[in-house]
Structure 1
Amino acid sequence: MMTAIVVLSLLVLINGIFAMSELAVMTSRHARLERLEARGSRGAAVALSLSREPTRFLSTVQVGITLVGVLAGAVGEQALSGRLEPIVASVSPLAPWADAISLWIVVLLITYFTLVVGELVPKRIALAHPEAVATAISRPLNALSVIAAWPIRVLSWSTEGILALLRVKARSTDDVSEDDVRALIVRAASTGVFTPQEHRLFQRIMRAGDLRVRDLMVPRRNIIWIDESEPIDSVRVLVGTSPHSHFPVCRGDLDHCVGVVHVKDLIAYGLIAGREFKVTTVAHTPLFVPETMPALRLLDQFQSTKVHIAFVVDEHGGLQGMLTLNDVTQSIVGDVSRKGEAGLPTMHRRDDGSWLVDGRLPVVDLVAGLGLPAPVEHSLPDVSTVGGLIHAVLDRIAQEGETLSWQGWTIEVVDMDGATIDKAIFTKQ
């Protein structure tokens, strides 16, 4: 009887190894295994190979678990049930059913130990340390799959054939969506892996990937520009009273932009000293970009061209706005404008829980700030700012003091400049 108990214990442990290896290999992160492989871990390389051939690997595991289960049942029924039957029969009321009762006792005991020692505990270990377990167990499992190649191949062919009939396609285990990345960032922040500052930076980077240049540009109506025929005295006054560092140089109007000048170039050429010259003399060739260009792609263009200001045009070639390298970087790192400069459009939480929102705030920032679900952003009308959103929801130009409802929020337009919404208050309904 002791021999049977030892054999059963070994079978349960082997079952646990199979169960642990199955979960460890299938839940291991490929990036971590690849790092281990780069450090010379042969086990990590084999684990990666097994995870990329799930049918062969799972067939090996299933063959092992099935054989262990059959052997455990046979040993238990032959060795333990027969020894237990006389003990049960010694109890007079149970004697007529001693054979069945002893068999059920053995089955229950084997099932209990198999579930606890052979399944639950090993799987918890695999979940706690998937890469370590996969690296340690992968090579013996791979050897077993080679030894049992033909039965496993038959099982693999059968599995693939049935899946093909059911039109079930394999899915790559490396597929990672943007939502997965966002969830990982939130989890890392909540567990202390990221500091609050790092969390905010990651959030801004993710949002920046959704922004287009029209979301960040200074709109046409707010652009301060210099006419190429402007007297130098007028240019001196304009530059001296403006907080900006870049100025478009145009011929008659903004749709005929011929260049862009930087204050430091004007100073270097003698603007302050009163030297007479044409503004076009120090103007640089302007960079024009479509309003639909992703903001991060424009950042790459700024880096490659060494031009740090761009003019935004629509599909008809009309100038719609302008933005600088500073505008793009501030969308990632936050508002770093100097005193006197116009900062980024913002939203501030008020004491009563409502939000005071700048009309120029990008809609993607509004959605994130209000905590609205991500799908809301994709269902919005084709607008880029909060002001545009309010006009689109109303289907007309808003009026100062007007209120409307949207996505469970009451919106009050509190400040307008002509047809442009400067400020709005969002209150949760």
Structure 2
Amino acid sequence: MSDDNPHSGRGSAVKSWLERIAAIFTAEPQDLSDLQAIIAEANARALIDTDTKGMLQGVLAISKMRARDIMVPRSQMATIDIDQPLEEYLPILLENNHSRYPVVNEDKDHIEGILIVKDILQYALKPQTEWQLRDILRPAVIIPESKRVDALLKDFRQQRYHMAIVVDEYGGVSGLITIEDILEQIVGEIEDEHDEIEGSDIRKLGSHVFLVSALTPLDEFNEAFATSFDEDEASTIGGIVLHAFGHMPVKGESISLGGLTFKVNKANNRRLVQLQVIKPKTDTATDE
């Protein structure tokens, strides 16, 4: 006898999918490959959308990561020296736009604590009050490079801190990691109010200086700057610059290519984010 219910096919598919997930958890698998396959199938059947699939995959991915895998490396850490007066480190705060900074004593291996920028406000509004940077520091949380990222996220939430200093087996500082670094592994890049508005790939700062998103399509960049970078080599200008460096450059590094000077304005440990492009002063091709 045939089944006349038009929804029976979809109902069976959903039941089968749920049964497979239940079976995976009941069996307590030793690896995540089966669960990843189920997530991919659920997306293919439109039971979950692509964004949900990506987040689920991100959650699974961090369970295999260690702090060393996603930390901001030592060379890219923005720090403040404990003996610096406010007028010296204020430009550092304005340039980097972070909410927290490690405070060091002479070098990055000697962390005195963490400065939360908002803690300065009460003193900035009362210039007559005497205070020292040391007085307002929060304790620094120290973790080993081998710390599991999922366990660290749990610590961040339960203990209500947002930054940890990562040290190697000898106790030397190798980097730092924030709760945002972990969340970006799950939900993707988190843009804030200081990031460039999407679509503003090329912004003119001066007659010969431009701010360019590293993700600017190469054909757009070539057209704007009358360059001829090979589109078979990379699809974005960031790819061209990264290939030319031959390593992941840090903020402030520069290189000359195609008659232009490229200076890294913003980067993380995974990719270039923003470039400053400087044209020769004799070149007026895009000075409109």
Structures share fold, TM-score greater than 0.5: yes
- Shift in Å, 1:30: 8.7
SS at match of 1:277: coil
Q: Counterpart of 1:96?
A: none
1:204 match: 58
Residues 23-102 of structure 1 correspond to what in structure 2 (within 5 A)? 29=19
1:174 aligns with 2:27: yes
Structure 1 partner of 2:157? 303
Higher share of residues assigned strand: 2
Q: Which runs of 5+ in 2 are unaligned?
A: 1-17, 197-213, 219-230, 254-266, 273-288
Aligned to 1:256: 110
- Greater RCO between the two (CA within 8 Å, min separation 6)? 2
Structure 2 match to 1:382:
none
Distance 1:271 1:225, change over 3 A: farther
| Structure 1: gaps of 5 or more residues | 1-27, 34-171, 360-398, 403-412, 425-429
Question: 1:178 and 1:352, CA in 2 relative to 1: closer, same or farther beyond 3 A?
Answer: same
Q: Find the partner of 1:237 among 79, 84, 91.
A: 91
Task: Call closer, same or farther: CA 1:189–1:423 in 2, change over 3 Å.
Answer: closer
Instruction: State the shift of 1:331 in Å.
Output: 1.3
Partner of 2:7: none
Using structure 2 for the length normalisation, give the TM-score: 0.60
Amino acid at match of 2:173: L
The residue number in structure 2 matching 1:219 is 73
Report if the CA contact (8 A) 1:416-1:423 is conserved: no
1:378-429 CA-to-partner distances (Å, cap 9, x unmatched) read: xxxxxxxxxxxxxxxxxxxxx9649xxxxxxxxxx487457x99869xxxxx
1:327 counterpart (152, 177, 181): 181
Letter in 1 for 2:191: S
Amino acid at match of 2:107: D
Identity of aligned residues (%): 25
Contact 2:149 2:182 in 1 (8 A): yes
Are 1:278 and 2:111 matched, yes or no? Answer: no
Report the count of equivalent residues.
207
* Contact persistence 1:313–1:320 (CA under 8 A): yes
Task: Give the distance between the partners of 1:349 and 1:190, measured in 2 at CA.
Answer: 29
**Structure 1 residues 136-162: Cα deviation after superposition (integer angstroms, max 9, x where no partner):** xxxxxxxxxxxxxxxxxxxxxxxxxxx
**Which one has the bigger helix percentage?**
1
For residue 321 of structure 1, report the CA deviation from its aligned partner: 0.6
Instruction: Output the CA distance in 2 between the equivalents of 1:272 and 1:237.
Output: 20
Which residue of structure 2 lines up, in the alignment, with residue 340 of structure 1? 194
Judging changes above 3 Å, is the alpha-carbon distance between structure 1 residues 348 and 313 closer, same or farther for their aligned structure 2 residues?
A: farther
Deviations 1:1-24 (A, max 9, x none): xxxxxxxxxxxxxxxxxxxxxxxx
For 2:191 and 2:126, how far apart are their aligned partners in 1? 25
Measured in 2, the distance between the counterparts of 1:236 and 1:328 equals: 28
Once superposed, what is the RMSD of the aligned Cα atoms? 3.8
